[in-house]
Amino acid sequence: MQSRFRSDRRLTVRMGLTLFLLGLLYVGFIAALITLLKSWVLVVVLVGAMFVAQFWFSDRIAMFAMHGRVVEREEYPELHAVVDRLCAIADMPKPVVAVSEMDMPNAFATGRNPDHAVVCVTTGLLRRLEPAELEGVLAHELSHVAHKDVAVITVASFLGVLAGLIVRFAFYSQVFGGGRRDQNTAAVFAAVLGVSAAVYAISFLLIRALSRYRELAADRAAAHLTGQPSALASALTKVSGDIARIPTKDLRTAQAFNAFYFTPATGKEPGIERFFSTHPTLEQRLEQLGRISAELGEAATPGKAG
């Protein structure tokens, strides 16, 4: 079913291109592993099992890692009311609504398709935002579901996760290590390590580039759906400022899931590392919302609403 979120052809093209390039990389990676490990059955079974597990259980993995739990309408009636209203406006299935008992103000959406999606907000976000700001954040997350970029990011990130795990496995596994390692085994170890590291680096850059664009696309879609880009800008400013005041050590656990968050749990605006970031800078996002506000003739100044 097509939702009423504004379609984004450039996002669709970028998602298709990223998946195509990662697909080529994926085929080459599997072929290299089969050649090096000389067991195509082992490689195909392990890789296939990991892919199915990540794709089908990504929502549960993210919820578990972020201590999220499904909440019913009786427990959070206002939160459910906002999601109900936005889904009705967007003409899309209502996702499962969840809350994470974290003070860090943030939100994320996950799930393999609109019929199996979860939108989760932290208690820190609910406590800090005004109703219009919360609506903007939830519209942003629902647009990820409607655009299906949550599933694309989940699939795209699989190759990088796999390569990273193989690098770790190569270091710690007794298959490659110990005093029994001969020259041939050492050569296989070095080759697997090198191929895995290269695949991880390439997939990392491709996914980060797509992730930054999809966040801008979600901001645009949310602003047009709600008609209040200034409220979304205000939420961005408020959440980013509050996260910056949270001690870095308290953000480390959350940083592994930055690609799924409304705002990254970095605690600071990126410098040169913005080219490797999962999100565009706050300045870029506010500038875009400012332009949309002007187009819509909004009276409020972005970043000052609420």
The catalytically annotated residue of 141, 269, 273, 295 is: 141
* pLDDT, averaged across the chain: 79
Task: For residue 80, say whether it is annotated as part of any ligand binding site.
Answer: no
Pairing status of strand 96-100 against strand 107-111: unpaired
CB atoms within 10 A of CB 283: 9
Domain boundaries in the chain?
9-177+184-295
pTM, to two decimals: 0.77
- CA–CA separation, 146 and 3 (whole Å): 6
pLDDT classification of 182: cutoffs 50, 70, 90? low
Answer for the pair 96, 11: CB distance below 8 angstroms, yes or no: no
Active site residue 141: yes
Residue 23 CB neighbour total at 10 angstroms = 13
Residue at 275: amino acid letter: F
Burial state string for 155-174 with b = 16 or more CB within 10 A and e = fewer than 16: bbbbbbebbbebbeebeeee
List pLDDT tens digits, range 160-171.
666 666 656 655
* Cα 99 versus chain centre, distance: 17
The residues with which 120 forms a beta bridge, in sequence order, are 98, 108
| Residue of 148 and 290 predicted with greater confidence | 290
Q: For 281-306, what is each residue's pLDDT tens digit?
A: 999 999 999 999 999 886 444 444 43
Higher pLDDT, residue 63 or 173: 63
Q: What is the pLDDT of residue 26?
A: 72
